[in-house]
Chain A
């Protein structure tokens, strides 16, 4: 009851508030919110939307897990954005350059992606532990560099090739593809969506049952107490950042190995930042993150239907932004309220409330 109130009330309030806000925006711009919302819901049943939502949820889920690992120790890996991009382009180049036996090929690509993501995250991690450079600024800068590096690597005179008016890396041989589950005309669920689920379970076990998870949480709660308790802050920063970067490297694997088989100019941007938002919404909890990822995916994919009813679909981006901002405010307000309530409760049980 109390726990449910603390954990579920804030996101519910935030979503409601954001929906209201967007509803008002729609009314002001002369549209009918009820009709718009109805179009979004009914869109789920149309074409491949449902499958697209599932696929997109998987991608967002991995990104948010990567962010959440850092958040557990108050480490802001704003660089998931760059890490998954560099990992994707390098893994695509790697996978496209030769063939291995089926299965092994895909596995090799996935491992390379994780390693590259971790390596890209290692730079800010090392700068932080050796030079005291704040990771927020360094990862933001690394995001810029990632864009530059990716653009450079797919130049025609480097690794890229021109197809129509798109530039892409050489296509990965079929041995490197990961088959999905086909629903016929409704689309195909990426096989690696299950990788996302497995990562979520692994994350839960790590945080709640292992020494590393405890040390991570302790470092986030109080760096000084963790240090006195024998947790090496530098080691934690390094491991958490590498782990976060490694998982970030996997973000685009479902799409690349399941559908695109190449890195090209249409590569999706902004998943890292969405991951931050989703991790915040889900409060770093694997279940909460899953819900957040699903919500994000639903808004993204069903939002396409809004164009049919004459509403710019960008309204969903506003809704997403409003949800993040209002959910963090709501969590903060509820946290303050509960802390005071808890102190009152303990005070009452111990009978120190004299007045």
Chain B
């Protein structure tokens, strides 16, 4: 829902478009992206002398913080691929946090996860009834569900948690998942990391962060990303669901029950957002449910999905980036975060060189200006105020939209109210 809406009169020409050149397959882009990110981080870490950038602890925190964003983003993906814009993710996530805490303190983390999914799915069901059956504008319904989700959880926690925790804004503490580590591998990587060798230790630190203290939730989330890709792009069910987001009229004419698939997409979306809420409650750093705990993460999930161009792999990248920025701030504070700005300068330098090679002088000049400005910030400031770092994902999303919105490709009928017949 981020592209489109150009001046309508300049909308698609009636003359068929020419063929475009073929691009690299998605997995190749992903691998290059990961490699590029690692190289960038280790270079930055080396040049700024901030080893925390790639330390195990940072990565572990990043993973924990990326999970809610990732799950919410996956929720967004399911709804929008079925053609329903879901800015109610935030409300469904809030319902998920309450559901997780309510079932979690009584029956443990697995029940918490299940209950969160059910509560989120209820929110999704409501969104589906409003948008699919009654044809209400998707944004309007999403806003209403955010209001309703917040109100419902406040009411329920006053009613149910208050007598137990003596605080209407907090649940009793919720038991967490046991975590698992690939112990041999983890120790060996730990030794490598401790040697402080350029590049190698950085890679070791990142890998160790990924294989140490892994919660089942992390594994489930990764499985859900892969599973979403397989289901949506490799099965007939997925083809039908995506066709509802691209051209529901055509789908209906071919015997696809568009309403049904939209319902499935949106309810699934709610369940995933709810699980995102559970990931917050089950984060080892949190006691349980807290009012205001989601703090806009549903929206950031949506942003991660847009960042990822409505694809699971890209969305994983977006969630990783946002989780990483969050984790770095939380773990090592504003000074370390400043190193990221240095990293951004390096990244811009690479982009400028690339634009120069492609003879795009205007883009290159823009890159130079941005790089100089960022470097000035890096040079003149001691640390980035925590008030601002919290909202780094918002800024990154705005920049991505501003720079790349023409390249993003959302489902063609996303957000369009569809009526049968």
Measured CB to CB, the residues of A under 8 A from B are 25, 29, 76, 78, 123, 127-128, 131-134, 136-138, 140-145, 147-149, 151-152, 155, 223-224, 227-228, 233-234, 273-274, 276-277, 280, 312, 314-322, 324-325, 328-329, 332-333, 336
Q: Which of A131, A144, A234 contacts B401 (CB 8 A)?
A: A131
The answer to whether A321 and B147 touch across the interface, beta carbons within 8 angstroms, is yes
State A152–B85 Cα separation when bound (angstroms): 32
Interface residue? B4 (CB, 8 A): yes
Q: Which of B103-111, B112-120, B232-240, B391-399 contacts A (4 or more CB under 8 A)?
A: B391-399
Interface residue? B377 (CB, 8 A): no
Given contacts A140-B87, A328-B144, A332-B136, contact A148 B397 (CB under 8 A): no
Interface residue? B167 (CB, 8 A): no
The answer to whether A138 and B398 touch across the interface, beta carbons within 8 angstroms, is yes
Minimum Cβ distance to chain B for residue A285 (Å) = 16
Residues of A within 8 A of B405 (CB): 131-133
Q: Which of B6-14, B25-33, B247-255 contacts A (4 or more CB under 8 A)?
A: B6-14
Minimum Cβ distance to chain A for residue B94 (Å) = 12
Given contacts A76-B139, A233-B9, contact A137 B154 (CB under 8 A): no
The answer to whether B3 and A132 touch across the interface, beta carbons within 8 angstroms, is yes
The answer to whether B130 and A329 touch across the interface, beta carbons within 8 angstroms, is yes
Interface residue? B140 (CB, 8 A): yes
Minimum Cβ distance to chain A for residue B245 (Å) = 16
Residues of B within 8 A of A233 (CB): 7-9
Q: Which of B256-264, B282-290, B296-304, B311-319 contacts A (4 or more CB under 8 A)?
A: B296-304
Q: Give the size category of B's interface with A.
A: 35 or more
The answer to whether A144 and B1 touch across the interface, beta carbons within 8 angstroms, is no
Q: Which of B6, B148, B303, B388 gathers most chain A CB within 10 Å? A: B148
State A163–B3 Cα separation when bound (angstroms): 46
The answer to whether A136 and B155 touch across the interface, beta carbons within 8 angstroms, is no
The answer to whether A328 and B141 touch across the interface, beta carbons within 8 angstroms, is yes
The answer to whether A155 and B152 touch across the interface, beta carbons within 8 angstroms, is no
Tell me if B's interface is mostly helix, strand, loop or mixed.
helix
The answer to whether B388 and A134 touch across the interface, beta carbons within 8 angstroms, is no
The answer to whether A276 and B143 touch across the interface, beta carbons within 8 angstroms, is yes
The answer to whether B130 and A137 touch across the interface, beta carbons within 8 angstroms, is no
Q: Which of B5, B159, B302 contacts A29 (CB 8 A)?
A: B159
The answer to whether A145 and B395 touch across the interface, beta carbons within 8 angstroms, is yes
Residues facing A in B311-364 (CB within 8 A) are none
Given contacts A136-B87, A314-B158, A317-B155, contact A144 B394 (CB under 8 A): yes
A sample of 15 more A-B contacts (CB under 8 A), given A312-B159, A314-B158, is A131-B402, A132-B405, A133-B405, A137-B303, A140-B299, A141-B394, A141-B397, A141-B398, A145-B391, A224-B9, A227-B9, A276-B143, A328-B137, A328-B140, A329-B130
State A320–B139 Cα separation when bound (angstroms): 17
